[in-house]
Amino acid sequence: ANYSTVLPLGEQLADLGHEILLFDVRGHGRNRPQTHASIRAFRDDLMAVSRYAAKRFPDRQLVVIGHSMGGAAGVLAAA
């Protein structure tokens, strides 16, 4: 999966006035392919994007929505 998997949901949330930030984890989507990327690497990618979002939107609540491995990375990041 890549960002386009959740793009329709992101568009709906944006239409409701939410700020949306979609990204592809390493090795997926438009990123350079990798032969192996661990769930911990996905978590690290999510944490980096979360730090960016917190700085970019300091007065907004951050909500993470992930699909498949992205959901697992979200759980690890929250733990």
Q: For 10-64, how does the pLDDT look when each residue is reduced to its tens digit (9 = 90+)?
A: 999 999 999 888 888 877 777 788 777 788 998 999 999 999 999 998 999 999 9
30-34, 37-41, 66-70, 72-76: least confident range: 30-34
Can you tell me the distance from the alpha carbon of 37 to that of 46, in angstroms, rounded to the nearest whole number? Answer: 13
Q: What is the pLDDT of residue 19?
A: 87
Q: Residue 39: CB partners within 8 Å, gap ≥ 6?
A: 69, 72, 73, 76
Of residues 73 and 5, more confidence is placed in: 73
CB-side neighbour CA atoms (13 Å) of 38: 4
